Amino acid sequence: MSLRDQIDMARLPQHIAVIMDGNGRWAKEKGKMRVFGHQNGVVAVRDTVEGAVELGIPYLTLYAFSTENWNRPKLEVYALMELLVSTINKETKTLMKNGVRLNAIGDLKSLPPKCYNELQEAIRKTSENTRCTLTLALSYSSRWEIANAAKSIAEEVKDGKIKLDDVTEELFASKLCTAEMPDPELMIRTSGEHRISNYLLWQLAYSELYFTQKLWPDFRREDLQEAIIDFQKRERRFGMTSEQVN
Ligand code: IPE
Ligand code: IPE
Ligand code: MG
């Protein structure tokens, strides 16, 4: 039975979040510069997005650049930003063809203007697409996002727009960058690292975590399918007992 046939289409995760990790190590294994790994990471992004669209996953969120990644060598940061611009530019057509709406979360204003503008343009062009929302986390960190949400709520309380008692989990979630999407049900990290690296800390509260040794440039739709099959074998209890959820 093919991987695809093993997937229960009635129980697909509605939102999959991915930490695309291992580009540098992939390049190093081949005796190449880290940037070569990032370039080949684009191939994996394309295949994963197509794999998600093909299955009918409504939300896919990819961690592309963290706030902490700004601390990498200048040359690598520059190359990543250049790659982002050229990729968005090249891939917009494919996003349109596949009905993918592009979205971005993070401190986007901190991106180089060329990147920011290219991104906004692609977001605008694809805004009517409805098959899948592809969110890129760029210059993103969860602590930044949570601190921002707290600040915006504090401001509303101070200005008398809301009362202290209005501050609920729902209100808090509505102030996060992900307000319009369901929480990820499945989070995949490649490259064998078992950590969250400041990604969607609030939203991952009850996500199933899936780790694979594969380095990101080698990740393909079949790997996504394997992760989904694994996800579907798990029992999600949300604090209850096994008997309760069955
Ligand atoms: C992920 O790969 C891409 C980014 C973080 C931008 P890495 O660049 O982190 O690759 P490794 O982890 O060093 O192998
Ligand atoms: C997390 O990967 C960020 C992205 C994939 C964009 P890192 O490679 O930056 O994470 P750490 O430093 O290993 O935790
Ligand atoms: Mg890494």
Query: Which of these, 123, 120, 100, 124, lies nearest to 49 by C-alpha position?
Result: 100
Q: Which ligand is nearest to the CA of 66?
A: 2
Query: Active-site residue 21, yes or no?
Result: yes
pLDDT in tens, 65-107: 999 999 999 999 999 999 999 999 999 999 999 999 999 999 9
How far away, in angstroms, is 154 Cα from ligand 3 center?
Answer: 35
Task: Point out the ligand 1 atom lying closest to the alpha carbon of residue 66.
Answer: 5
Q: Which distant-in-sequence residues (6+ apart) come within 8 Å of 199 by Cβ? A: 17, 19, 63, 66, 137, 140, 142, 187
DSSP 67: G
Q: Which residues pair with 19 in a beta bridge?
A: 63, 189
Q: Whose CA is nearest to atom 6 of ligand 1?
A: 65
Amino acid (one-letter) located at 102: L
Q: What is the mean pLDDT of residues 183-189?
A: 99
Q: In whole angstroms, what is the distance from residue 13 CA to residue 56 CA?
A: 10
Sign of CA dihedral 195, 214, 182, 9: negative
Task: Point out the ligand 1 atom lying closest to the alpha carbon of residue 20.
Answer: 1
Q: In whole angstroms, what is the distance from residue 164 CA to residue 177 CA?
A: 22
Query: Active-site residue 69, yes or no?
Result: yes
Q: Judge contact between 57 and 11, C-beta under 8 A.
A: no
Domain boundaries, the chain: 11-141+183-233
CATH topology of domain 11-141+183-233: Undecaprenyl pyrophosphate synthetase (3.40.1180)
Full-model pTM: 0.98
| 186 three-state secondary structure | strand
Query: Which of these, 150, 185, 155, lies nearest to 171 by C-alpha position?
Result: 150
Amino acid (one-letter) located at 141: S
Residue 24 CB–ligand 1 contact under 6 Å: yes
pLDDT in tens, 3-56: 999 999 999 999 999 999 999 999 999 999 999 999 999 999 999 999 999 999
